Amino acid sequence: MNIIASIKRHEGFSERPYPDPIRGWDVPTFGYGFTYLTKDEADYLLRRRINNIKRELSHEKGFFIQLPQEVQDVVAEMAYQLGVGGVLKFKKMWAALAERDYDTAAKEAMDSKWAKQTPNRASELAGRLRDVAETVR
């Protein structure tokens, strides 16, 4: 048996933290027995998750990949926070994005519970959509 298979079999996998079997909750454990991540590992995972989100958004909304990169990034960041399913509920924003109406998309993003819950982030991301609208006029 190779080392990867052996570690996986012995450690098991948990996508959520659990108490270390020896040290308890003082050392939360996740994945295949991880107790920490390096910054490089976290950066790799973040990039991979963003790529997966963008792929899923492209699958759900075929035109997504044709949007300007900055718009894709804004929507992907929203999906990172809310989940892809959550951002797909922004029906009026998506309708505006399909029409390449980034001002209206920004307005619709701000007209949401999300914007009320995280006003600074929502305002910044909506501002980035408005900036794209300025550049395509």
Domain boundaries, the chain: 1-36, 39-136
Give the pLDDT score at 22. Answer: 84
3-state secondary structure of 125: helix
pLDDT at 86: 98
The DSSP output letter for 65 is G
- Answer for the pair 72, 54: CB distance below 8 angstroms, yes or no: yes
CATH number of 39-136: 1.10.530.40
Q: What is the mean pLDDT of each run of 10 residues along the chain (137 residues)?
A: 92 93 88 94 97 98 97 98 98 98 98 97 98 87
Query: What was the pLDDT predicted at 64?
Result: 98
